[in-house]
Chains A and B, each alone.
Chain A
């Protein structure tokens, strides 16, 4: 073991006492002032409760049943101020307009509403399906349809509406009607639609952009956000499932890139997506023997299965160079581009400039994209990390708490790779010069540390994993340090005016 591996043992206790998130707060601190963004985490269930509370309050104010108020508020897209204003003005008009009137327009009053049953001898003839049925549902307007048709109708309408009305007139179905017809609590889907509407209407709320996550974040000092963004600070929030995202962009955390860099970069990538399609490919051929190689791990250190040639996935150069001159594949080869352009001497100067800028863009896009793909691969590996923890526990016989280093390392890796990825977007918008050289040296250091930890995760033998615990801890520690350095270097780049938009 090297000296370096002992370094960490002293404060290893603190690793267990701090939660993962707390650690990362510190790392991103210089650009992310967490005390500036004050926010609350909400789950959809909590939001549902909030909306229900709103209904209960209003139901007391208006002296109307809860169900009725739910439908009212849904019709008003949860703008309770406007609803109260209109209702105080002319309650009959509101009721009539929303199909909640208890007085039928033509004066008829239908008593026997709700679920209806019929017999084989005298079945119900349904207008919608034109079939004879034994069960139907009747609203207070007197319109009646078979239960099957009503269910299909609800399923179709629930996709697009907050309020569902009688297929034949403007009478609104209450949550009670909907639950009876659907046989489940179908009205909760409507309420979920309402939550969507509510969150989208209120600027202080945002959905977590992470796929399949339904968590909501509410910012308490939303008026400060604009100022934060103007001063290149990133309003990062964390959802109740631990996903960090930028509240301003509604996009994954793009630390260290400021919001305006992020927006321009995303737009640029969208505009140029056709040009760079070829880059997104997951397969490349071994530079030595031409065997097709598929990348299935997050690490960029590739070994050809056939000829055992070791090379870097990014630049396809031999891996030997990467230990000493690891930044080779990080730095845009300006001289190279110059050489290429000389061959196009007869072309116009402007053509050359375009080509040069495209090459420059492709260089950074390539790096950005490789880490985007690697992130996905890291993520799928992190998804199974809990399993690995269990296997390590059982296989090696260590305690659960002792095996947690894997979970922490996985989280560190994901965060650091994201920071690395976005740092390429920053680099693209930087002027060439000494400052960018410094920036890219720090960046290369981070890239190196990312790959080192990523490589450890390729180990599948649980005994080896347990033995390498110190390597995991040291690699994580190094990665956190370098991530912090990257954030600081970005801040420096912004402060000294190297960043151009």
Chain B
């Protein structure tokens, strides 16, 4: 109940006040939503559109939504952004999505983090443990206990 009210309010807010480079795409399920992100300011990601999937639980906002990059081949979104904190399978190593989450964070604050995550990145590489993680990764990124990599990048 609490989750539903809160999500509705957040969605209304996102509709009223849009974010630069970010588009929200709703589904018929209030607990699943997508967003596309483009970061034109960074030559690494120029002319690219990326897609993020949010899966929200009843425990929201006390637990963070599961959030990962996905492909949408039909619409030409064929890649996962190359980033030292983003795995080939789309999972994201970001403390906000795990231990640093508190219920005052929002879908908006996650999107803003992801956007600046991409905008400020200068390294065209995958996480150091990408190949091993890829093989053993659980379906749900929240089932992974990330050791947060150096956040200075």
Q: Give chain A's interface residues, CB within 8 Å of chain B.
A: 127-131, 145, 149, 152-153, 156, 160, 165, 167-168
Contacts and interface: CB of A to CB of B under 8 A. Distances in A.
A156 B104 contact: no
Nearest to A143: B104
Interface stretch (B2-10, B32-40, B69-77, B131-139): B2-10
Contacts of B61: 128
**Which of A130, A145, A160, A168: most chain B CB closer than 10 A?**
A130
Interface string B100-144: 001110000000000000000000000000000000000000000
A137 to B, nearest CB: 14
Contacts of A165: 102
B63 interface: yes
A160 B99 CA distance: 9
Contact of A129 (B5, B59, B63, B102): B5
Nearest to A157: B102
- Give the secondary structure class of B's interface: loop
Nearest to B2: A129
7 contacts: A127-B104, A128-B104, A130-B9, A156-B63, A160-B99, A167-B102, A168-B102
Contacts of A128: 2, 6, 61, 103-104
Interface string B47-75: 00000000000010111000000000000
Given A128-B6, A128-B61, A156-B62, 16 more contacts: A127-B104, A128-B2, A128-B103, A128-B104, A129-B6, A130-B5, A130-B6, A130-B8, A130-B9, A131-B5, A145-B103, A153-B102, A156-B59, A156-B63, A165-B102, A167-B104
B83 to A, nearest CB: 27
A149 B9 contact: no
B20 to A, nearest CB: 24
Nearest to A166: B102
Contacts of A130: 5-6, 8-9
A167 B103 contact: yes
The 3 closest A-B pairs by CB, nearest first: A167-B102, A128-B103, A129-B2
A127 to B, nearest CB: 6
A129 B61 CA distance: 8
Nearest to A160: B99
